[in-house]
Amino acid sequence: MTASSRAPQGGGSSETERSPFIRLTELLAPHQPGKPLITLSLGEPQHPVPDFVGPVLAKHVADFGRYPLAKGIEPFRKAAASWLGHRFRLPRPVDPDSEVLVLNGSREGLFFAALTAVRYVGERRGRPAILMPNPFYPVYGAGARAAGCEQVYLPTTVENGFLPDLDAIDEATLARTVAFYIASPANPQGSVATRGYFTKLKALADRFGFVILSDECYSEVYTKEAPGSALECAGPDFARVVAFQSLSKRSNLPGLRVGFAAGDKTFLNMFHELRNVAAPQVPVPLQHVATVAYGDEAHVEENRRLYRIKFDLADQILGNRYGYRRPDAGFCVWLDVSALGGDEAVTVKLYREGGVRVVPGSYLARLQPDGFNPGAGFIRLALVQDGETTAEALHRLVETLG
């Protein structure tokens, strides 16, 4: 059975809706690492924090003494809009007053966006549904559940280039779709949607009336060509397209919790209304740090250089083992260990014998209605440690698995 022939419908259970990292902790709890532990399971950047962070915070520390506006300060919104205009080939400049909103990191924005999408789209033909790639970032499912929508999982496999097969989605499903989560670069496989792919997805959104929620938080971590944005194919009014960005990966600032949403101003106006009463606000000093970050590319290029070194190491150490391929973007490695006992067994083996902590791919995905889990048989490695530690972990992996 090909990936495109598997019905893209909801599935899973209460067990698989739990955090993959809690499940991983439980899986490894009975065991001890066989060597000094190296953690490659969590996608938390470990490169140095940019030098400008401390001075900017110190300059604006008094702003911790007031409540932030949900919309975001004007300098931040202008910086985000300017960065988008320089980084991507947009149909026109983004309006910082109506087409940009600050986020407390992209994760909470992606969650609240599902609630906004239900109101934005309105009544559907049948039970409203939110579509998402499978495997996927768990917050997509959490947002869909909170919005009262069915989660429809679209399997991403080698056969479809690790991006949802748009031609495999039936019209009845599309007619009741509220939102479509798309991650490009994809997490965990690192695939990048082409301009043609985004154009095709936008045509479906226009035809069936749903909104595209484009998760682009890995867009600045690439070792090949720079990925594009869904906004490039959204038309002059950015209708039905909202892109989500974050400084966590781009600037090695996962603890800053600053990102933004940009695009359709009608959607963002509704989004702002919801966020104004329900979402976490972003402290003003942190927004000033983000303003400087979006105006500086030197630290971002240095970040990419460090990741290129680690992927060069992966190329040399892994070679063609375990179906390894250098991803188009992102900092994760997606390895096929199905012939070695499966993803859970290999995860335990690597931990017990090699002291390397990874994530079973099945924990990052959900069952399709036919019982197929697109993540089963894979493990995910996040190459977030320094080069020396990364090389040690990869050597241990090869020694342990053979």
- In order along its 402 residues, the chain shows pLDDT tens digits of 333 334 444 444 455 578 999 999 999 999 999 999 999 999 999 999 999 999 999 999 999 999 999 999 999 999 999 999 999 999 999 999 999 999 999 999 999 999 999 999 999 989 999 999 999 999 999 999 999 999 999 999 999 999 999 999 999 999 999 999 999 999 999 999 999 999 999 999 999 999 999 999 999 999 889 999 999 999 999 999 999 999 999 999 999 999 999 999 999 999 999 999 999 999 999 999 999 999 999 999 999 999 999 999 999 999 999 999 999 999 999 999 999 999 999 999 999 999 999 999 999 999 999 999 999 999 999 999 999 999 999 999 999 999
- Return the pLDDT at 3: 35
**How far apart, in whole angstroms, are the C-alpha atoms of residue 203 and residue 214?**
15
| Number of compact structural domains in the chain | 2
Tell me: do 155 and 256 sit in the same domain: yes
- Return the pLDDT at 4: 36
- Return the pLDDT at 146: 96
Tell me: do 35 and 106 sit in the same domain: no
Tell me: do 162 and 306 sit in the same domain: no
SS3 380: strand
Tell me: do 324 and 285 sit in the same domain: no
CA distances from 273 to 200, 268, 278, 333, 339 (A): 30, 8, 9, 39, 51
Q: 297 — alpha (psi -120 to 50), left (phi > 0) or beta? A: alpha
Tell me: do 274 and 391 sit in the same domain: no
Tell me: do 380 and 273 sit in the same domain: no
Q: Are strands 177-183 and 211-215 parallel, antiparallel or unpaired?
A: parallel
> Domain boundary at 244, 264, 296, which?
296
Half-sphere exposure of 74 (CA within 13 A, CB side): 1
Which tokens hold the place of 175? Answer: 């007619």
The whole-model pTM stands at 0.94
Domain range for residue 19? 3-48+299-401
**How far apart, in whole angstroms, are the C-alpha atoms of residue 402 and residue 396?**
10
- Return the pLDDT at 72: 97
Tell me: do 306 and 277 sit in the same domain: no
Tell me: do 252 and 105 sit in the same domain: yes
Which tokens hold the place of 21? Answer: 């990292």
Which tokens hold the place of 138? Answer: 């768990």
- Return the pLDDT at 223: 85
> Domain boundary at 254, 279, 296, which?
296
Tell me: do 267 and 325 sit in the same domain: no
- Return the pLDDT at 11: 43
Cβ atoms of residues 383 and 218 within 8 Å: no
Beta bridge pairs of residue 357: 39
Tell me: do 89 and 13 sit in the same domain: no
Tell me: do 311 and 240 sit in the same domain: no
CATH of the domain at 330: 3.90.1150.10
Q: Which amino acid is at 225?
A: E
CATH of the domain at 95: 3.40.640.10
> Domain boundary at 272, 296, 320, which?
296
Tell me: do 238 and 125 sit in the same domain: yes
What are the backbone dihedrals phi and psi of residue 116, each rounded to the nearest 5 degrees, phi first? -70, -35
Q: Are strands 129-134 and 177-183 parallel, antiparallel or unpaired?
A: parallel
Cβ atoms of residues 291 and 147 within 8 Å: no
